[in-house]
């Protein structure tokens, strides 16, 4: 059953975490220089797609003149149309098709027929990737593309074992952004950090926006999550007594969903399906319990959350201060060692000694000992002569 077919379609709920990430992301994108890449990262269901939709609406409002040769925003999903792994060439080919390249797109015959040119079909498989990328750069500039939204960008971490590193795909996007003077917006899960951090020489300059979840460790987050439960109960027309029972189990529901709004919405949708199957108009706590994910699913969800948030975590001022002190102590120790070595060298020079006098003296004594052994005949090994074979004379 689709969302629009549900008895209780869930409207867009502008909750706290969503609004915070939306404003931060839009500010980064709005003030970014051409050639910048922005990463919007979060768990599945955290609202990345909704944020991208809102940002697209705002950017289109700021660039109202849209035509075939003025396309300020394009969207693409990072997938491979033919295989299960990511391919930069396939992505560039699909971008050309999306921009309706008159000479290399899938519908080139129809496009060229409008201007009286008859052409046969062509496949991007026969065109080198470098040629496709050059055509793509020129077409992005010609069509005035300012923003490229890439959904499921962490698909770049699923690469074919062909000797090409995963980070090469991100590097190709960076070159594309710089050459086309566009801003690339990635929507991805936590595994995107595997390649985002490995290319830190330029990603340090690129902003990362984390769509956060509601945490059990924050009283403010708990209050916000309870408010979300109340809104979901009202939307699904839950009775007052059942609503009170659901709110009493807010901590358990928060744990089952990881504090992620999309997971909570999916939980209510599953519960609503069960209530509908039972012929009831509204759902109950029993429906919620039935729709809860399995124990292993909850465990995997939290493993993903913990691993992702640890990888995303940044240092605080105290950590930076300790790091600075350790670095300063190391530099001082190096300077003391360097100055001590220079002082010893200067003293040896003033006394007329060579720095390697000890080793030279040892080598002289060794050489004299060898000469004495040679004089006594002990320094040179005697050469053994091979005995000649005796001739045996046999009697006649």
Q: Who contacts 274 (Cβ-Cβ below 8 Å, separation ≥6)?
A: 283, 287, 290, 291
* 106 vs 81: CA distance, rounded Å: 13
Enclosing H/E stretch for 209? strand 208-210
C-beta of residue 153 within 8 angstroms of C-beta of residue 186: yes
pTM above threshold 0.95 = no
* CATH fold group of domain 15-210: Rossmann fold (3.40.50)
Cross-strand bridge partners of residue 169 = none
Q: What is the pLDDT of residue 163?
A: 57
Residue among 318, 338, 319, 340 at smallest CA distance from 330 = 338
The mean pLDDT value for 31-57 works out to 91
Spell out where 58-198 has E strands.
73-77, 147-151, 183-188
Structure tokens at 63: 């660039």
What pLDDT sits at residue 75?
Answer: 92
Most confident of the following: 74-88, 106-120, 297-311, 345-359: 297-311
Model pLDDT for residues 321-349, shown as the tens digit of each residue: 888 898 889 888 888 888 888 777 666 66
Which of 144-148, 205-209, 242-246 is predicted with the least confidence, judged by mean pLDDT? 205-209
H or E segment to which residue 175 belongs: helix 166-180
Round to whole Å and give the CA distance between 94 and 111: 16
User: Residue 213: which pLDDT band, with cuts at 50, 70 and 90?
Assistant: very high
Contact call for residues 183 and 177 (beta carbons, < 8 A): yes
pLDDT in tens, 285-332: 999 999 999 999 999 999 999 998 888 887 778 888 888 898 889 888
Backbone angles phi, psi at 63, to 5 degrees: -130, 75
pLDDT exceeds cutoff 70 at 111: no
Q: How distant is the alpha carbon of residue 365 from its chain centre?
A: 65
The CA distance from 230 to 10, in Å, is: 13
Phi, psi of 154, rounded to the nearest 5 degrees: -70, 0
CB 37 within 8 A of CB 177: yes
The Cα–Cα gap between 379 and 372 comes to 8
Lowest mean pLDDT segment, chosen from 126-130, 282-286, 321-325 = 126-130
Q: What is the pLDDT of residue 121?
A: 53
What CA–CA distances, in Å, run from 315 to 89, 201, 301?
37, 18, 25
Return all residues near 185 (Cβ < 8 A) that are at least 6 apart: 29, 37, 38, 40, 52, 55, 147, 148, 149, 150
Q: pLDDT band for position 14 (50/70/90)?
A: confident
Q: Which residue has the tokens 């768990």?
A: 43
């Amino acid at each position: 059953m689709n969302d629009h077919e549900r008895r209780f379609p869930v409207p867009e709920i502008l909750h706290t975490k969503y609004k915070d990430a939306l404003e931060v992301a839009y500010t980064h994108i709005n003030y970014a220089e051409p050639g910048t890449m922005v990463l919007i990262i979060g768990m599945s269901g955290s609202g990345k797609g909704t944020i991208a939709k809102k940002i697209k609406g705002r950017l289109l409002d700021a660039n109202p003149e849209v035509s075939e040769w003025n396309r300020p925003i394009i969207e693409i999903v990072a997938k491979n149309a033919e295989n299960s792994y990511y391919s930069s060439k396939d992505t560039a080919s699909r971008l050309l098709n999306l921009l309706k390249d008159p000479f290399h797109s899938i519908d080139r015959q129809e496009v060229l027929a409008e201007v009286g040119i008859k052409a046969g079909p062509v496949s991007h498989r026969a065109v080198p990737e470098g040629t496709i990328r050059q055509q793509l750069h020129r077409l992005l500039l010609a069509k005035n593309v300012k923003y490229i939204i890439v959904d499921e960008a962490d698909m770049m971490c699923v690469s074919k074992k062909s000797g090409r590193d995963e980070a090469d795909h991100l590097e190709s996007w960076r070159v594309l952004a710089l050459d086309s003077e566009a801003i690339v917006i990635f929507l991805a899960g936590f595994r995107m950090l595997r390649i985002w951090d490995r290319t830190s020489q330029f990603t340090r300059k690129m902003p990362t926006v984390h769509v956060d979840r509601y945490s059990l460790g924050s009283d403010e987050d708990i209050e916000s999550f309870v408010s979300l439960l109340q809104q979901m109960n009202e939307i699904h027309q839950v009775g007052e007594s059942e609503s009170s029972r659901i709110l009493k189990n807010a901590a358990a529901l928060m744990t089952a969903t990881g504090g992620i709004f999309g997971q909570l919405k999916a939980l209510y949708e599953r519960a609503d399906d069960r209530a509908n199957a039972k012929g009831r108009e509204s759902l109950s706590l029993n429906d919620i319990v039935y729709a809860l994910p399995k124990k292993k699913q909850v465990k995997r969800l939290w493993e993903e959350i913990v691993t992702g948030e640890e990888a995303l975590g940044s240092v605080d001022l105290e950590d930076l201060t300790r790091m600075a002190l350790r670095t300063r102590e190391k530099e001082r120790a190096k300077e003391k060692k360097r100055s001590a070595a220079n002082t010893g060298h200067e003293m040896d020079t003033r006394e007329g000694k060579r720095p390697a006098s000890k080793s030279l003296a040892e080598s002289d004594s060794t050489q004299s000992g060898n000469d004495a052994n040679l004089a006594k005949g002990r320094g040179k090994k005697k050469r053994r002569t091979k005995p000649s074979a005796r001739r045996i004379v046999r009697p006649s």
